[in-house]
Amino acid sequence: MNQKKVSRKKPKAVKAENPGSRRFPLRRIVPNAVTLLALCLGLTSFRLGLNNAFELGVFCIVLAGFLDAFDGRLARMLKAESPLGAQLDSLSDFVNFGIAPVLLVYLWSLQSTGRVGWAAILIFSVCCALRLARFNVDMEEADRPAWKSFYFMGVPSPSAGGLVMLPMYLHLGGLLDMSFATPFILVNTVFVGILMVVNFPTFSGKGLSTIRRDFVLPLMLFIGFMAVMLFTFPWITLTAMCVLYYLALPLSWLSHRRHAAA
């Protein structure tokens, strides 16, 4: 009997993939590039402060704040979120809003106070570092309720960076003379720093991904109005934004209390 020969073909060798040959999507670089641009603006504000160009220094930090508000949303929109981007954003926030604003305030007004002024600067920066560290830990909680994404615990660092420069807005805009208001500037610096680390809920826009259709036009009109006011009356607008933020703190506490009770 003729036995049939069974042909056994050797399996084709699978070529090992060369990690260096893989293509990297450019969309994943865009959010990190925005974060780095904001970081450069924050560092540039310090250089401008050394040259007594405090107006431009303030605008650099304000622009860095606007970029910080959009880089995370841009990453989610482009599906480019990554652990590297999250850590880079946190480090950029510490430089832009935990160091640059208070150094600008120190160069502008607190140098004459010596160690007392420097102590206030250190308190603010330490509070900002603790606030960012706590935020990163809170984001890693697996059982975190969805409604908590609408709130921060403590004032976020970008808002604190804007609030600590409130005396500069008042003085540079000619609204109030802050030449002899050094005690107020010291108290404001320490007070805003403490607001970052207290367990006080504040409104957050990170959990807001969609809005009702009938709110689109009013929101666009509001953004356009704020842009016009910011470019036309910058110091009045920045002061008004700080005042409105302080007025919104009790509302955020009441809203958080209702959610927690529910």
Please give the full DSSP string across the chain, using - where no structure is assigned.
-PPPPPP-PPPPPPPPP-GGGS---GGGTHHHHHHHHHHHHHHHHHHHHHTT-HHHHHHHHHHHHHHHHHHHHHHHHTT---HHHHHHHHHHHIIIIIIHHHHHHIIIIIGGGTHHHHHHHHHHHHHHHHHHHHHHHHHT-TT--GGGGGEEES--HHHHHHHTTHHHHHHHTTSS--TT-HHHHHHHHHHHHHHHHSS-EEE-STT-----GGGHHHHHHHHHHHHHHHHHSHHHHHHHHHHHHHHHHHHHHHHHHHHHH-
Say yes or no to pLDDT of 175 above 50. yes
Say which residue, 54 or 70, is predicted with more confidence.
54
Q: Compute CA distances 219 → 66, 225, 252, whole Å.
A: 16, 10, 20
β-strand pairing of 151-153 with 201-203: antiparallel
Q: Which of 127-136, 194-203, 215-224, 234-243 has the lowest mean pLDDT?
A: 215-224
Question: What gap in Å lies between CA 216 and CA 226, rounded to an integer?
Answer: 15
Instruction: Identify residue 177 by its one-letter amino acid code.
Output: D
134 in Cβ contact with 198 (< 8 Å): no
Say which residue, 10 or 141, is predicted with more confidence.
141
Highest mean pLDDT among 8-12, 20-24, 176-180, 183-187: 183-187
Split at pLDDT 50, 70, 90, the class of 230 is confident
> What is the chain's mean pLDDT, rounded?
83
Question: What gap in Å lies between CA 100 and CA 64, rounded to an integer?
Answer: 11
pTM over 0.95: no
Say yes or no to pLDDT of 243 above 90. yes
Say yes or no to pLDDT of 190 above 70. yes
Question: What gap in Å lies between CA 152 and CA 141, rounded to an integer?
Answer: 14
Alpha-carbon torsion 233, 238, 242, 247, what sign?
positive
Split at pLDDT 50, 70, 90, the class of 119 is very high
**Mean pLDDT, to the nearest integer, of 226-235?**
89
**pLDDT tens sequence across 56-114:** 999 999 999 988 887 777 777 777 677 777 788 888 889 999 999 999 999 998 988 88
Q: What per-residue confidence (pLDDT) applies to 1?
A: 47
**Mean pLDDT, to the nearest integer, of 158-169?**
93
